[in-house]
Structure 1
Amino acid sequence: MLDKLIEDIKHCKDLDQATNLLFKIYAPSEDLKRAVAFCTLAHEGQVRKSGEAYAVHPILVSALVAFLSSNEAMIIAALLHDVIEDTPHGEEELRKDFGTEVTRLVQGLTKITEIREDNFNSKVSKNLAKSALSFRNMLLASIEDVGVLVIKLCDRLHNMLTLGSLREDKRKRISEETLVVYAPIAHRLGISSIKNYLEDLSFEYLMPDEFKQINNYINSNDQYMQLSLNEFISKVELLFNKNGFRQGSFEIHKRIKHSYSVYLKMQRKGISIEEVLDLLGVRILVENTLDCYIALGILHTHFNPLVSRFKDYIALPKQNGYQTIHSTLFDTKNIIEAQIRTFDMHKIAEFGVAAHYKYKEGSSVATPKLDWISDLSMQNSSINANEGDYNAVELYEYAKDSLYIEDVAVYSPKGEIFTLPRGATVLDFAYEVHTKIGLHAKTAYVNRVKVPLLTELKNGDIVRIVTSNDKLYRCSWIDSVKTAKAKANIREFCKQKIKEIDLESAVNILAFVFNESHQTILKWIDDERLNKRIRQISVDSVYFKDVVNMLKKYAKKSYLFDKYELKEQKFGNIIVLSNHKIANMDFDFCCRPKRGDGVVAFAEAGNAVLHHKLCEKADKMLEEQKPMVFVEWNNDATQSYKIIFSLENKKGALAEFLTTLSKMQGNVLSITLANAQNSSLDYFEAHIEFPDNTKIETIKERLKNRYKILDFTSLNDAYNGK
């Protein structure tokens, strides 16, 4: 059992103990003995932060790998995974002594410790950049051999078990990375035994109070829960023996939901730990698939099932290969979740992809799908393909969004299964099917009912997407979709669309300045070799002025005055730069741009009409080559916000809040009080101004950390400046 091995590892502090533990799990071959000796000698004199000899770490990592897999190359690679990085020994020496397969695995596990300056983005920390580059290295190696990820998970598990010797900030950083990257990788690989440990260890360091609360409840109720489970198991064993199962043909194991899983359920459903229905469970293992359904029939005949919580992952396996029937049952005193699976399915559920290294016999069970690795590697290729955009951190962030623990299984009309993160929308599904389906998605049907594209999907939904011939960018929806794939594609499509809009806008603006045709303007631009930077005209007022001055020599001459001189004209929040007199700033009602949004303006009868840059009506006007003027936001203007907040009804509470706002450069325009009867809290609505260069997200976060903020809404849009 992994639990026993983990306990042994926790108490293992010297090389002899570690080596004995490894050899107890995997019978030592000559190659393995030689690898242990090489590892011990290579790391001689090196000591971990926890005080033991460094070689103890790789030996115990190899013991964990040996528990999951009988592949000797993986076990040896685990022993040598830090050799290239931390010792003078190189790849050629490893290849000569241990072969190509071991060396390839070690290369994939070697961290990036040095960063070339051209790979380093000054906006991110070097620690993050190193983590990102190391992750990319590991990911690319795992395409050839997924064993790289199995070893890395075991390495991370041992690091988490010895995290107590590090500084608190490092403990939190490593725990967060483990929770958002490595536990989800274990989930995707189907290795639930490792996933659960990684989650609980991270949870303890990141949220110690919540962990303690759940742990205390489980410990204080352990005796009662164990007795309840024993009583239930006795009933089930008796029923199985009476209904055709022979002794020894099945096993029933007790299961108490692990801490982080309990926490997620409490948060998601807004319930207390006492209300978690699947806190207690049993796992029933039988010999074949038919026996799973016979066992289910016996349980449903003798215990009332909670129908809404029934799930059949045997008929419809998860993408990570997980196959189990889940049924929640009412016992006399408790509600207990029963999980029914075959012995082979149990191996896959516990060991995932590693089970195919460990158990060589053929079986009909599902295998984990690994196309998500290819998806991540393709994202890496697309990042590299964009000149100037290469950044391993971007891939790392994409991976963090792509990897998730809680998921839902939904189906296409043809019955294909798609696994998406909990909270995913219909549009996420469309992008998961194919990028083009997402871009052209017009309407959707879930379970044959027409629904909006941002409808949240649930387990078992059947989704049909109706597409349009037109591309539908939906750039404002980027924060409403859940999957990294949908976000990345919307972002990329919109980036390309904005480039097209900026190019067309630049030509339209210049054509209006010089009162010339588009063909003439394009010829002037070509003659001046300005093609590469022409888009910049529509967003950069300084460059716009420079280009106008360059092109004056081609324009019709005016001897009395410079009729191409650009003048700044202010209309509240908006600045117009044009050689034409603009009488007024008008607004169409097709879009309502907020301060900071990309905007364009069309010249109509001496007025400028403002639109959001991605407005559909504006897009048609662009195609029709309607005259345009240069517009930008007025940076000298203030930003206005409405804040609704509550304060404890005590002397000085409001004064303290207003002092905090003042320190943040906030100017209170108005404040109203709404007393709640029979309440110890007062509720306020305030209208507040901040300077334009203020980082509002930072202010919002700081206020939310100190006070109960119910609403924080911008009052700035283009209309407010009128």
Structure 2
Amino acid sequence: MKPIDEELLLEQLIDNVKNCKDLEAAKALLFEICGHDAILEKAVDYCIFCHEGQFRKSGEPYAVHPILVATLVGFLSENKSNILAALLHDVIEDTNCTEEELREQFGSEVLKLVLGLTKIIEIREDNLISSKSKKSLTKSALTFRNMLLASIEDVGVLIVKLCDRLHNMLTLDILREDKQKRISEETLVVYAPIAHRLGISSIKNYLEDLSFKYLMPDEYKLIDNYINSNNQEMQLGLNEFISKIELLFLSNGFKQGSFEIQKRIKHSYSIYLKMQRKGIGIEEVLDLLGVRILVEKVSDCYLALGILHTHFNPLVSRFKDYIALPKQNGYQTIHTTLFDAKSIIEAQIRTFDMHKIAEFGIAAHWKYKEDGSVVAPRLDWLTDISMQSINNLENAEDYNAIELYEYAKDSLYVEDVAVYSPKGEIFTLPRGATVLDFAYEVHTKVGLHAKSAYVNRIKVPLLTELKNGDIVRVVTSNDKFYRCSWIDSVKTGKAKASIREFCKQKIREINLASSINMLSFIFGVDKNRIETWIEKENLARRIRQVATDSAYLKDIVNGLKKYAKKSYWFDKYEIKEQKIGNFTLYCNHKIANVDFDFCCHPKRGDAVLAFVKGGNAIVHHKLCDRADKMIDNNQDMVFIKWDSNIPKSYKLIFSLENKKGVLAEFLAFLAKMQINLLTINLSSDLNSAVDYFEITMEIPDNINPDSVKDRLKSRCKILDFTSLNDAYKEG
């Protein structure tokens, strides 16, 4: 079989695309990749005609952009409709072209793709918002939702969008720094993971490295400088290693031309992630250097593996067989790490057909359509996320685009753990996933009703972290066993979204019952009478708002006074504000004091409620089981909320250089910013140059957490910065 180094061809193409600034050069590049034909030439002319007089910020004619996007699409996919849609993806939105005209000129299939692309509310260069703005996150979420919905009918939409984003990233230099960071952030969080899930590693790597360059320029330069300064030595070492392997293969059953060995150096962002995850320097990254061995048959992969392990000592802990256990995106390769005389080198072994899938994923079905051995990546993740979006749209009252965005991000990240059901079915989950994540992955009902579990036939808690190869059995019950606090322990988007939704529903029920109990206490009448008044006033749909909105509580009380027993001397139903400690209460009864019950321990900022006992308000977490029973027993309740000036709690995981006095300086810096330290945990390794810390802290309400995070970045390497306020409050 003739070896194909598609990576080298793509590298040359991307370099040409990046430097292409005029129409003639762009057209020449497109026709070089896609060839000449009448319909393609017609689409190019039509694209140029429609965009005539339009220019990009860099000064070149706008039509250069869609032509180059089509060139990239053409390299990935020989599907003509995808290429034409890439050429025409902006004509309906940005020019006078109509849908009817486009259908007439290029057919219904191209129109459908273009409309799918047009529906995506893209974040344009001229209306970008600061990445610290919640508005920008909402906009990214809506963009993402629309992109997924458009791709349900035709995944070609995603191929075109990835190439569109790649070209935008290649030409990002012309924009201001804040816009560069905003686009790069979205690319790293959304587009690169989509490329990964579609199995298009070649595009994913470029998107990650380009984003990394703009988001973390110092870290990027550090890695880039190391690779450049050591490049010659590394290349020579790889060449020497490859020569050894070639001789071994030819003397152990392989024929000349039946295999190909490629050399590779790990891409920059992947190196950075490995350094962060392991807390190591670049010199300690074991798989920095690698070779890729391509063979003709699956049996040849294992023959090659046997030869390598016979002549080089393998690092057993790093062996992975993705041929026997393919990833969900269709990736199949054997990974093994070998000790050579001078270095440690990762070897990847796959067939030529597997290589096509590894580099081009779903696009390989268009690029190599004549080869029936290419297997499609699974797209259940796309259906799953899209259905989550559709469900949100159907429940418009509670729709939250940002929650979908978070759900999608969790669902898109790389799967690292393969576990089995008792029947041998394989499930791939993210690193750190728990038994409960597995249960939700099997089915939402299994997760919700999970009572206990067995891993490798040993009974374990539901939040036990899973390892590669675990056999997991979940025992269910007719009762629901979820706990809202579990949302911080599970890893998958499906588990988080399911728990969050059930907890939101529970809080809605609690708010409704609490509202009735509060009004019953205010008016001194039983629950049934309050419900009758509410029905007469047609307030049933919004009455639960009484428990969360003090202004609405006052309005409702004023509206229901006409049904209550009259008082001629004073307004006995006037709602007054009472401030006690960290709380503000609203009631027509005098509250002497606020105290906490013994059963639950709400943190400052958590959702709370309060019962009245002996003139005092007794505070519970809103999701406390004991409080739930007290609500059902119609105990007197009072409106309560945390004082607006209370600090917010955050978790910070960071690393510091392992040097005397560094931690003391850091803690002094926190104190100077008026940050209150609650807890601190240290994870130290005597052989490491850095120490890892996890702290919980309180940030005053009048200080922006984003500004705190930005200032901390100058003092430490931040690995995680998360709010500890209730993640399951009602939306």
Q: CA deviation at 1:549?
A: 4.9
Contact 1:344 1:363 in 2 (8 A): no
Decide whether aligned partners of structure 1 residues 11 and 442 sit closer, same or farther in structure 2, where only a CA change above 3 A counts: same
- 1:339-369 Cα shifts (integer Å, max 9, x gaps): 1111110100011000001112344454211
Q: How does 1:99-498 map to 2 (within 5 A)?
A: 99-110=107-118, 111-112=120-121, 131-390=140-399, 392=401, 395-405=404-414, 407-498=416-507
SS at match of 1:531: coil
Counterpart secondary structure, 2:199:
coil
Deviation at 1:696, TM superposition (A): 6.3
Residue 626 of structure 1: how far off its partner (Å)? 3.1
Deviation at 1:698, TM superposition (A): 4.9
CA distance in 2, matches of 1:258, 1:158: 19
Q: Distance in 2 between matches of 1:367 and 1:636?
A: 54
**CA gap 1:625/1:100 in 2 versus in 1, 3 angstroms:** same
Q: Distance in 1 between matches of 2:503 and 2:628?
A: 13
Distance in 1 (CA, whole Å) between partners of 2:512 and 2:580 is 25
- Aligned to 1:71, which of 60, 76, 79? 79
Root-mean-square deviation over aligned CA pairs: 3.8
* Cα distance change on mapping 1:644 and 1:45 into 2, 3 Å: closer
Aligned residue for 1:32?
40
Task: Answer with 1 or 2: which has the greater Rg.
Answer: 1
**Alpha-carbon distance, 1:565 to partner:** 6.0
Residue range with higher mean Cα deviation, 86-95 or 348-357: 86-95
Say if 1:26 and 1:225 are closer, same or farther in 2 by CA, change over 3 A: same
The answer on whether the counterparts of 2:339 and 2:345 sit within 8 Å (CA) in structure 1 is: yes
Deviation digits for residues 455-504 of structure 1 (CA, Å, limit 9, x no counterpart) = 44343333333334333443334344333333322222222111111111
Report the Cα offset of residue 322 of structure 1.
0.2
Candidates 16, 31, 48, aligned match of 2:56: 48
Quick one: structure 1 residues 238 and 449, their matched pair in 2 at CA, closer, same or farther if it must change by over 3 Å? same
Determine the C-alpha separation between the residues in 1 that align with 2:401 and 2:636: 42
Q: Percent identity?
A: 70
Cα separation, 1, equivalents of 2:20 and 2:725: 61
Alpha-carbon separation, structure 2, partners of 1:282 and 1:21: 31
Matches of 1:360 and 1:278 in 2, distance apart? Answer: 33
Deviation at 1:258, TM superposition (A): 0.7
What is the CA–CA distance in structure 2 between the aligned matches of 1:343 and 1:475, rounded to whole Å?
A: 48
Of residues 504-513 and 641-650 in structure 1, the stretch that sits farther from structure 2 once superposed is: 641-650
Query: Between Structure 1 and Structure 2, how many residues are aligned?
Result: 688
Matches within 5 A, 1:585-664: 585-605=594-614, 607-635=616-644, 661=673
SS in structure 2 at match of 1:221? helix
Cα deviation, 1:510-562, whole Å, max 9, x if unaligned, reads: 33444543323322332333322322333334443454455455455677877
Amino acid at match of 2:47: C
SS of match in other structure, 1:478: helix
Q: Which residue of 1 aligns with 2:26?
A: 18
TM-score by length of 2: 0.84
Amino acid at match of 2:69: V
Taking the aligned partners of 1:26 and 1:543, their CA distance within structure 2 comes to 64
Following superposition, the deviation at residue 141 of structure 1 comes to 2.2
Q: Is the 8 A contact 1:317 1:366 kept in 2?
A: no
How far off its partner does 1:260 sit? 0.7
Taking structure 1 as the reference length, the TM-score comes to 0.85
Distance (Å, rounded) in 1 between the aligned partners of 2:528 and 2:620: 25
Letter in 1 for 2:182: R
> Could you tell me how far 1:113 is from its partner in structure 2?
7.0
CA shift in 2, pair 1:709/1:245, >3 Å: closer
5+ residue gaps, structure 1: 669-686, 718-722
Q: What is the DSSP-based 3-state SS (H/G/I as helix, E as strand, rest coil) of the residue aligned with 2:485?
A: helix
Range with bigger deviation, 11-20 or 327-336: 11-20
Determine the structure 1 residue equivalent to 2:687. none
Q: Deviations over 1:384-408 (max 9, x none)?
A: 1223445655544543343224643
Q: Which moved more, 1:251-260 or 1:608-617?
A: 608-617
CA offsets 1:140-167 (integer angstroms, 9 cap, x no match): 2211111111111111112211211222
> Per-residue displacement from partner, 1:224-245 (whole Å, max 9, x unpaired)?
2112111211121111112211
Superposed displacement of residue 595, structure 1: 2.3
- The structural deviation recorded for 1:69 is 1.2
Indicate how the Cα distance of structure 1 residues 641 and 91 shifts in structure 2: closer, same or farther if over 3 A, else same: closer
SS at match of 2:164: helix
Contact 1:180 1:403 in 2 (8 A): no
* Distance across 2 between alignment mates of 1:636 and 1:24: 64
Indicate if the aligned counterparts of 1:322 and 1:366 stay in contact, CA closer than 8 A: no
Distance 1:643 1:84, change over 3 A: closer
